[in-house]
Amino acid sequence: MFSARMNAKIVGTGIAAALALSASAAMAGVVVKSSGPSAATYPVGKKVSDTATITLKAGDSITVLTAKGTRVMKGAGTFKVGDQPKATRGRFAALTRKRAARRVRTGAVRGGPAGAMEAKATNPNLWYVDVSQSGKRCVFDLNTVRLWRPVKEGIATYRVIDTASESSIDVTFDDGESVAALDPARLTVVADTEYTFAGPEGTDVATVTFTKLADDWTGAEDLANKLVEAGCMTQVDQMADRLGG
């Protein structure tokens, strides 16, 4: 009987310790933006505990996504990461909404002059692919790729070129529209293949590769970690700008 009770106590203690470790791990934030003298100490992707205290120098600016919100710290000074984070749950939900990425018409094949330039807009959805930025892009579905242009005035056609097979399609943005879909029936997007977006003037605007996120995420800090691990740094910057502002 005594042995059974001891074993039960040991098992219970082990479970409690595991739960404590799990809770501790869940309280780890991730650096999504870093500049200044301490940027090498706190690079993008570095995990920091919510209870951690960090000392910054003059000119430093560090943005950390935590389970409770976004913490922007600017030096010089000493800061506790988990103190008074800005609640960003609503912004995060809007930024990562999959329905918005799915509910877009397929780009038509037609030409037209680009319209007059307007103030550069901000990409409103993490899954929209900015045609003006090169780099690796993480998507939740390779058959649901949406292109986004910073300027929505005028009709503009972009040629999307698969550099491996040299196949291509034209995707047209109508006047006043900033989002258009790639039609998977006309161009199959393949992970780790390079694609070039050629703008209305025939110039190479951007070169992009795609990767599919293997799992879903539990929050902003978890998604940021997955993006960093996949090398989708453009989207990490996007999260930092939208959630840290």
* Position 22 pLDDT exceeds 60: no
Q: Quote the CA–CA distance of 190 and 164 in Å, as a whole number.
A: 10
Between 176 and 21, where is the model more confident?
176
Q: What is the pLDDT of residue 204?
A: 77
For 55-95, the pLDDT digits (tens) are 999 999 999 998 889 999 999 999 999 898 898 899 999 99
Residues above pLDDT 90, as percent of the chain: 67
- pLDDT, residue 68, reads 87
Cβ atoms 145, 104 nearer than 8 A:
no
Separation between Cα atoms, residue 153 and residue 176, nearest integer Å: 5
Strands (E), 50-132: 53-56, 61-66, 69-74, 77-80, 128-130
pLDDT reading at 242 higher than 90: yes
Tens of pLDDT, residues 125-168: 999 999 999 999 999 999 999 999 999 999 999 999 999 999 99
CA distance 160 to 81: 43
Tokens of 79: 């800061």
> Measured between alpha carbons, how far is 200 from 207 in angstroms, rounded to an integer?
15
Cα–Cα dist 117/213, whole Å: 34
Phi then psi dihedrals of residue 180, to 5 deg:
-145, 150
Give the DSSP letter of residue 85.
P
Q: What would the pLDDT profile of 28-56 be if each residue is shown by its tens digit?
A: 799 999 999 999 999 999 999 989 999 99
For residue 76, say if its preceding peptide bond is cis, omega within 30 degrees of 0.
yes
User: Could you tell me which residue, 103 or 6, shows the higher pLDDT?
Assistant: 103
pLDDT of residue 100 exceeding 60, the answer is yes
